[in-house]
Copies of this chain bind each other. A is one copy, B any other.
Amino acid sequence: MAPISYGLPLYQLLAEEEVERIHQASMRILSEFGIAFYDEESRSILKKHGAKVQGDMVMLEPGLVSEYLAKAPCQFTQLARNPRNNLVIGGNAMVFAPVYGPPYVLDLEQGRREARLADFINFVKLTYMSPYLHHSGGTVVEPTDEPVSTRHLDMVFSHIKYSDKAFMGSVTSAENAADTVAMAELVFGTEVIRQQPAVISLINVSSPRRFDDRMLGAIKVYARARQALIITPFILAGAMGPTTIAGTVAQQNAEALAGIVFTQMIEPGTPVVYGSFLTNIDLQSGSPVFGSPESQLGLYASAQLARRYRLPFRGGGMFSSSKIPDAQAGYESVMVMLPTVLARTNFVLHAAGWLENGLVSGYEKFVLDCEILGMLHTWAKGLDLSDDSLALEAIAEVQPGGHHLGTEHTMRHFRTAFYRAGLFDYDSAEKWQEDGAHDTYSRAHRKVKELLASYEPPPIDQSLEEGLRDFMTRRKEAIPLAVS
C-alpha cells in the first residue's frame, strides 16, 4: 500500500510567534553555547564554511544556519529494489518503518531473549508482508549472534534479500557506512544512487550538544555519496535535556540544525531529515517514560519547527515502556502515534514492534501495531462528503426505527466501507469464550506464526545476490574481529 498522502488539516499546537520563540532560543544555543564535534576533520569543514571553532566546540551564527538550511531539499525520493516501493520522503507523504535498535526480542512462547540474525530476518519478512509498513527500516533487532564488526553486512544483505522495500544504512562507523554504500551501488548502480538516494541512515546526536566521531564518520561518508540522513537528537527531558519540555525542544532544535547544516557544508543538497526522539524520564526511577503527555507536546512542537525550516520531519512511533503487549502498551502506543499522524510526520521509525523502552522488538506487538497503522491509513482518507456518501436517498428510504442492513446503498458499500482490524476481537462475549477467551497477545501470537509460515520472498536477480554475497565474504575476511 502506498504511504499516506496526508491531505487533512495539521494539528498546530503552537502559534507562529511561539515557534519563533523556540527558534530564537536555539539560535542562542548554537551561536553562544555551541555544539561539540568530536572529529577534527568535521571541525575543519565547519570552520572552512564560516563556523567559529574553539577546541571541540563549534558555534554557528543564525545567518550561517539559514544559509545552509536553505540548501537542503524539502523532499526527496528514496529508491527501493522494487521501484514500486520507491518512497517520497517529505511533503505530504507519511512513511512508516519498523522499530529500530532493540537488542532483545519477545514472543509469547519463548519469552524475552537476546535477538539473533534469525530474528532480524523474521522482522524483515514481517515488515515486507505488511501493507502498512512502507519501509524495511534498519536495525530491526541487533543480531547479537553475529560479530559486532561485521553484523552490519548481514543486516544490509538481509534487507535486500528478504524484502524489496527501501532500507536504512549502518552508522556505527565510517567503514560500515562505506560498506552500506558499496552494497547499495551493487543493487542500484554507482551513478544512479548519486541522483536519488538508495540508503537513509539514522544519525543520533549524543545529547546534550555532542556529535561523536563514529556518527560524524558516517555522516561524512553518506553525505559525500549523497545518501539520505536523519539527524536525530536523542533526548530524555530531565537527563540529557532540562526538566522542562520547552527547553528540551530548544536544545533538540539546536542539535538537529547543527547536524543538518554540517551535511550541507559537506555536500549541498544532501537529502536530510529533521529528526526528533524526545520524551521525559520518570523522575522517581530515572527510567525513560514513553507515551507521556509531555512527549506529545514535544512532538507537535518539533514537527512545527521542521516545517518552519521546510525540512522533512521524523518523529513519533508506537512507543511504550511496558514489558509486554498488554493494556499499558496499547494505551501508550496510541498516545504517541495519533499525534505523530496529526503532526504529519514524514518518516515514522518505530511504527511497529517497540516494547520496553526500545530494548525489545516484540513479535506480537509488531503485528498489533500494524492493525493501528491500517486504521491510520483509513483515518487519513478523511471524511468523504460526496452526495453518495451523504446518502440522503438511503436515509429517506429507511423508515423510523428501521435498519440499513439491506439497502441498495449498503449493498454497494459494504465490502469496502469500514476498516477491519483482523486481530481485534469483535465477537460476542459468548463466542469469544467458546473460542478460548484469547487475549490480544495470544491472538497476535498465532498471527505471527501464520505470517512467517506463509512468507514468500520477493524475486532477486541471481547475479545480484551472488555479487552481494561475494562482497560480504571479502569484507568479512578483511575486517578484523573486534571483541563483541
List the interface of chain A (C-beta within 8 A of B): 8-9, 11-14, 18, 21-22, 25, 28-29, 32-33, 35-36, 56-57, 112, 206, 208-210, 237-247, 249-251, 280-289, 291-294, 296-297, 301, 321-335, 338-339, 342, 356, 359-360, 365, 368, 371-372, 375-376, 378-379, 382-386, 388-392, 394-396, 398-405, 407, 409-410, 413-415, 417-420, 423-429, 432, 437, 439-441, 444
Contact call B342/A11, Cβ cutoff below 8 A: yes
Least CB distance from A341 to B in Å reads: 10
Contact call B334/A331, Cβ cutoff below 8 A: yes
Contacts of A402 in B (CB 8 A): 208
Contact call A244/B330, Cβ cutoff below 8 A: no
| Residue from A13, A288, A342, A383 whose CB has the most chain B CB atoms within 10 Å | A383
Contact call B283/A414, Cβ cutoff below 8 A: yes
- Other A-B pairs, 12, CB within 8 Å; known A297-B383, A324-B439: A14-B383, A18-B385, A243-B413, A244-B384, A244-B417, A246-B384, A249-B383, A281-B418, A326-B327, A326-B441, A327-B327, A327-B365
Chain B residue nearest to A286 in the complex (CB): B405
Tell me the bound Cα distance from A250 to B392 in angstroms.
9
A293-B376, A322-B424, A439-B324 given; A390·B330 CB < 8 A = no
Contact call B390/A25, Cβ cutoff below 8 A: yes
A375-B335, A395-B247, A400-B35 given; A383·B282 CB < 8 A = no
Least CB distance from A201 to B in Å reads: 22
Contacts of A8 in B (CB 8 A): 13
A326-B327, A368-B331 given; A404·B243 CB < 8 A = yes
Of B18, B243, B331, B383, the contact of A330 (CB 8 Å cutoff): B331
Of B294, B379, B395, B432, the contact of A33 (CB 8 Å cutoff): B395
Chain B residue nearest to A374 in the complex (CB): B293
Tell me the bound Cα distance from A35 to B29 in angstroms.
63
A244-B413, A437-B323 given; A395·B283 CB < 8 A = no
Contact call B328/A329, Cβ cutoff below 8 A: no
Contact call B338/A240, Cβ cutoff below 8 A: no
Chain B residue nearest to A422 in the complex (CB): B284
Tell me the bound Cα distance from A481 to B390 in angstroms.
46
Contacts of A439 in B (CB 8 A): 324, 326-327
Contact call B328/A328, Cβ cutoff below 8 A: no
Chain B residue nearest to A294 in the complex (CB): B418
Contacts of A321 in B (CB 8 A): 424-426
Of B240, B322, B335, B395, the contact of A250 (CB 8 Å cutoff): B395
Of B112, B242, B322, B395, the contact of A425 (CB 8 Å cutoff): B322
A36-B401, A334-B330, A378-B294 given; A284·B420 CB < 8 A = yes
Least CB distance from A15 to B in Å reads: 8
A13-B383, A246-B385 given; A238·B372 CB < 8 A = no
Contact call A329/B332, Cβ cutoff below 8 A: no
A242-B410, A321-B424, A382-B297 given; A247·B392 CB < 8 A = yes
Least CB distance from A90 to B in Å reads: 23
Contacts of A208 in B (CB 8 A): 395, 398-404
A244-B389, A382-B297, A432-B323 given; A56·B400 CB < 8 A = yes
Contacts of A388 in B (CB 8 A): 244
Chain B residue nearest to A208 in the complex (CB): B398
Contact call A9/B13, Cβ cutoff below 8 A: yes
Contact call A417/B209, Cβ cutoff below 8 A: no
| Residue from A237, A409, A418, A419 whose CB has the most chain B CB atoms within 10 Å | A418
Least CB distance from A369 to B in Å reads: 9
Ranked 7 nearest A-B pairs via Cβ: A330-B330, A247-B391, A36-B400, A334-B334, A242-B391, A293-B379, A330-B331
Contacts of A383 in B (CB 8 A): 13-14, 18, 245-246, 249, 297, 301
